A and B are shown apart, each in its own frame.
Chain A
Amino acid sequence: MTTALHPEKTAEQPPSTVDGIRAVGRDYLDRLRGGELGSLPAILGLVALCVIFAIMRPVFLSNLNFANLLTQGAGSIAIAMGLVFVLLLGEIDLSAGFASGVCAAVLAVMLTDQGWPWYSAVLAAVLTGMLIGLVLGVLVARIGIPSFVVTLAAFLAFQGIVLMLLEEGTNISINDPVILAIANDNLPPVLGWAMLGIGVGGFAAVQLRQMRNRRRRGLTTAPPVLVAARIGGLAVLGGIAVHLLNQERSRSLVVDSVKGVPIVVPVIVVLLVIGTFVLRRTAFGLHIYAVGGSQEAARRAGINVTAIRVSAFVICSSLAAVGGIIAASRGHSVDPNTGGSNVLLLAVGAAVIGGTSLFGGRGRLINAVLGGMVVAVIQNGMGLMGYSSGVKYAVTGSVLLVAAGVDAVSRRRAVRR
C-alpha cells in the first residue's frame, strides 16, 4: 500500500479501471464511516423532500414552481456562502442577515434618494458589506471579543441602522430595471444553453488537464470513468434544469411570456465557482482551512492568523451584501424587515444542513448551495401544502438542529479515530 510514495511505479502499471473505482468507493465508505459525511445528508434529504412534496402536491414539480424555488433560495444561499468562510474558522456571524439588510438599504437609498446609477449603488452596497466585515473582523481577531458576542451586538445595531436609513420604517421601492431583473427576469433560452455549455466545457477542461498533468508526472489520479461520470453528471443535471427552465411558465401567454433560466442562477453559480476556486486552489483558501483546523499550528507555520480571520469576516459580510441586493430585487423594495426575521436562521441552516461543520475546518461552498436548496424546498413545499409560517419555521428549525446534531456526532467519531 505504499504506491503513493513511489510515483514511478504507478506510472508503469496504471491500476485497472475496476480496481480504481473499487478503491475510490472504498475510500469514500471509509470516509463516511470516519464521520466525514460532507454533503451526503443534504443530497439525500433534498431527494427525499422532493419526492414527498411531488407526491403530496404535484404542482411542486411544475416549471413555475421550480423557477420560484431557485429565486426564493438565492438570497439566503448568497449569505450562507459567506457564512461558510466564517464557519470554517469555527466562528459565527449572527449579524449577516441584518448586514444584508443594511446593504440593501444603502442600495435603495443610493438608487432612489441619490439617483445613482445601478452599478454605483451596487458598488456602494458591497463596499458597505466589506466595511461591516472589516469592523466585525477587527473586533473579533484583533481585540479578541468572541464572534458570538460581537455579531450579536451587531445584529441589534444593524437592525437600528436599517431603521435609520429607511427613516423610521418607511419602505423604499426599487424601480431600477437592472436591479429588478436580477431576481425577476430570465436569461433568453439560448443564452441559458450557452452558459451551461461554457460551464460544463470549462469544468471538463479543468478536470482533464489536471488528470493529464498528474498522469504525466506519475501521480495517482481519480479513475477516468469517475471523472467522466462527474462531467457527464453535471452536463445531464444542468441540461435537465436548463431544459425545464426554458419551458413556458406564464399562466397567461397573452400578457407575457415567461421562460428561461432566472438571472440569479448564473449569479449564484459565478459566486460559487469563484469562491470554490479561492478556497480549494489558492494558498489563501488553504490558510482559512488551516486556521480553522488549528490556529496555533497555522501560526507556527508563519500564517498571519489575524489577517485570515479578518478577511473571512470581510468576505462573509460582502456576500451578505449580495444576498441583500438579491432580496431587494426580489421584493421590489427594501423595508425594515429586509434581512430580518428568519433570514439569518435560514442562511446558517443552509450552511450547516449542507454539511459545513460548526466546529471549524470542514466544509465547502457547495454545501451552502445544497443546504440552501433543502431550506428552500421545505419552505416552498410546506407553503404549497398550506402549512402556516409557524409550522414552516418550526420544521426548518428542527432540520437545523438535526443537521447540527449530525455534525456534532460525526465530529466525535472523527476525533476518536
Chain B
Amino acid sequence: MTVTPILELRGIDKSFGPVQVLHDVAFSAYPGEVTALVGDNGAGKSTLVKCIGGIHSFDAGEYRFEGRRVQVNGPRDAAALGVEIVYQDLALCDNLDIVQNMFLGREKRRGPILDEATMEEMAARTLAGLSVRTVKSVRQQVSHLSGGQRQTVAIAKAVLWNGKVVILDEPTAALGVAQTAQVLELVRRLADNGLTVVLISHNLNDVFAVSDRIAALYLGRMAAQVRTTDVTQSQVVELITSGRSGDLGLATTNGATP
C-alpha cells in the first residue's frame, strides 16, 4: 500500500436538486491495477464516474491527480489529465461515423482542415489492435452498428488516446461471451502495461477475475475499498446489498439512510 494513488477523490458530495446521490465518497485508483467499482442499481457509480469525467460538478470534496489537487471543470480538463471514460450511455453520436466519433472534440487537423486520412489510419489501427473483426468499415455510421459493436467503438475511443486512467462503466453489458472475454482481457492488459483501470460491473465473477481492488458503493456512500484477495464474493455481495460485512463497511447501518 505504499504506492500513491494516481486518482484520488476525497469527501465527494453530489446532489441533484433535493436528492443527495453521493455522500462523502472517497475513492482511489492505482497505476498498474484494476479497481472494480461495484454497487447496486442506483448506488451512484455512474454519477461518481461522471464527476471524475467533469460531466457533473460536485458540491463538495477534493479531486487529486498524481498527488496534486486539481480542478476539473469539464470533459476537456479530464481528458487533459489523461482520464478516458467509456460511459454507460449516450457516449456516441449516431449520425457520425466510427472515425468521427473516436476523434470527436479532439480532431486531427492540418490548418483549419480536418485531417481525415490520419484519423482514419489511427482509428483503423486501434480497432485492429483490439482485434475487432466484426466492423465492416471505419467509415460506417454508428447508427448502423449493433449494441456490442458500439460498445467496442466506445472502448476503442478510450484506448486510442493513450490515457493514464481508463474508466469503463459497465463495458460488457451489451457484449456476447467472446467479446466480454476480450474486453476483460483488454482491461487486464491495460493495467499490466501500467495504466490505471477502473471497471464498473455487476458481474462479480468478472470482477474477481480481473480486479486488484474492489470499491463498493452503497446508497451513495463508499462502503469499503479493499484488496480483491482479502475478500470473498459473499462478503462483497453483503457490502453491495447492506453496506457492511462483518467488520468491513459502514460503521452504522442507519448511517446509510437516505
Taking a contact as CB atoms closer than 8 A, the residue among B55, B87, B136, B144 that contacts A4 in the complex is B136
| Complex contacts, A4 vs chain B, CB 8 Å | 124, 136-139
Instruction: With CB as the reference atom, state the residue of chain A lying closest to B55.
Output: A300
Residue pair B109, A283 in contact (C-beta under 8 Å): yes
Per the bound structure, the CA–CA distance linking A281 and B93 in Å amounts to 18
A289 in contact with B139 (CB, 8 Å): no
Report the minimum CB–CB distance from B252 to chain A (whole Å). 37
Q: Choose among B53, B93, B107, B112 the residue that contacts A294 (Cβ–Cβ < 8 A).
A: B93
In Å, the complex CA distance between A292 and B133 comes to 30
Query: A302 at the A/B interface (Cβ < 8 Å)?
Result: yes
* Residues on B with beta carbons closer than 8 Å to the beta carbon of A293: 93-96
A12 to B91, CA, bound (A): 36
Tell me, rounded to whole Å, the shortest Cβ–Cβ distance linking B88 to chain A: 11
In the complex where A6-B128, A283-B109 touch, is A298 in contact with B136 (Cβ < 8 A)? no
Known: A4-B124, A286-B100, A302-B79. A362 touches B95 (CB 8 A): yes
Q: Is B163 an interface residue (CB 8 A)?
A: no
Contact of A5 with B79 in the complex, beta carbons under 8 Å: no
Within 8 A of B (CB), among A117-131: none
Most chain A beta-carbon contacts within 10 A, residue among B106, B109, B121, B137: B137
CB distance from A348 to the nearest CB of B (A): 20
Docked complex Cα distance between A286 and B85 (Å): 21
The reply on A299 being an interface residue by CB < 8 A is yes
Cβ contacts A297-324/B at 8 Å (1 or 0 each): 1111111000000000000000000000
Ordered by A's residue number, 30 sampled pairs between the chains whose C-beta atoms are within 8 Å are: A2-B133, A4-B139, A5-B132, A5-B133, A5-B138, A7-B121, A34-B144, A217-B117, A217-B121, A220-B137, A282-B112, A282-B114, A283-B107, A286-B100, A286-B104, A286-B107, A286-B114, A289-B95, A293-B96, A294-B90, A294-B93, A297-B91, A300-B87, A301-B105, A302-B74, A302-B79, A302-B106, A361-B94, A362-B95, A417-B144
In chain B, positions 121-176 with a C-beta closer than 8 Å to chain A are 121, 124, 127-128, 132-133, 135-139, 143-144
* B113 adjacent to chain A (CB < 8 Å): yes
B85 CB, nearest partner CB in chain A, Å:
8
A residues lining the B interface (CB < 8 Å): 1-2, 4-7, 34, 213-214, 217, 219-220, 281-283, 286-287, 289-290, 292-294, 296-303, 361-362, 414-415, 417
* Residue among B105, B114, B121 making CB contact with A219, cutoff 8 Å: B121
The answer to whether A298 and B143 have CB atoms under 8 Å apart is no
